[in-house]
Amino acid sequence: MLTIIIAVLCAVTGAYISMAFGDLSKTASVWIGVGVFLVIQLTVGLIIRKKVNNITGAIQELMEKTQNKLNRKIAQMQSRPMSSPKSAQQMLEKEQNQALREALSITDRAKPYFKWNILLKRQINTMRMMLHYQLKEFKKVDALLPDSFIFDARSVAIKAVRMYKNEDPKFEKYIAKKCRRFKGDDAVLLYALYSWVLVKQEKYDTACAILAQAKNRIDNPVLNANRENLVNGKVKHFSNANLGEAWYSLYLEEPKIKQQRIVQRGF
């Protein structure tokens, strides 16, 4: 917002000076003003973008280092198993959560730039929303969702999960619309989520219809197998487990064999 105000003031000043003291026509002065506006907008935009890229780069570097550190510890545990797998799990989760909280603190560095870019706050809120979701701090996720960008399949899935958990009556309309919008692997996750909720609600016929719709758009063995199981009355065999991390990172179910992970996201 501040960038626009400064750019407009400079543009008006430039146009006035050009017309009053530069002996230029009104049209030429207006074009000079437009040029000044664009140059300031572009210059400030590039500066802010560089600052934000440094922040997101720091988060990605932190997550990569933590992932590598956890991978080494997991390898050590596999070669020398601990007496208590639960203690090992808790230790790894603690380190992961520390990294996520450090990433949250890094996003605070962007706050001074909010007044220079009207969309930056939403961008940072989206990062924070994702990080809080990984920490399972769902109330904070709910608070940030209205002021976040919900464009990619994962953010859509997160919003849909929270609508489902909060018993939002608009859930089904929302997820159905998003399933039709996305394609490929992105659509797989959303169809898997939608059909899972329908099965939990014992709406088996509707779940079959949704999975039939998915089959006409994408060829995915997990969705196809779930449809076949429902058609044949094998509800207990319905499972999204083979989607792996993409599914379990939504925290609707826990894997039978607990997986250690840091979910890396591109910011």
Helix axes 221-231, 184-200, angle to 10 degrees: 30
pLDDT digits (tens, 9 = 90+) for 157-172: 999 999 999 999 999 9
Distance CA 43, CA 6 (A): 12
Distance CA 179, CA 156 (A): 10
pLDDT digits (tens, 9 = 90+) for 76-118: 777 776 566 667 777 888 888 999 999 999 999 999 988 888 8
Q: Which two three-digit tokens encode residue 56?
A: 């997101």
Which of 10-24, 49-63, 77-91, 180-194 is predicted least confidently? Answer: 10-24
Helix (H) / strand (E) containing 128: helix 120-134
Say if residues 143 and 132 touch (Cβ distance below 8 Å): no
Q: Is the pLDDT of residue 130 over 90?
A: yes
Mean residue pLDDT across the chain: 85
Residue 16, C-beta contacts closer than 8 angstroms, at least 6 positions apart = 29
Burial of 83 (0-12, 13-18, 19+ CB in 10 A): exposed
Distance CA 66, CA 68 (A): 5
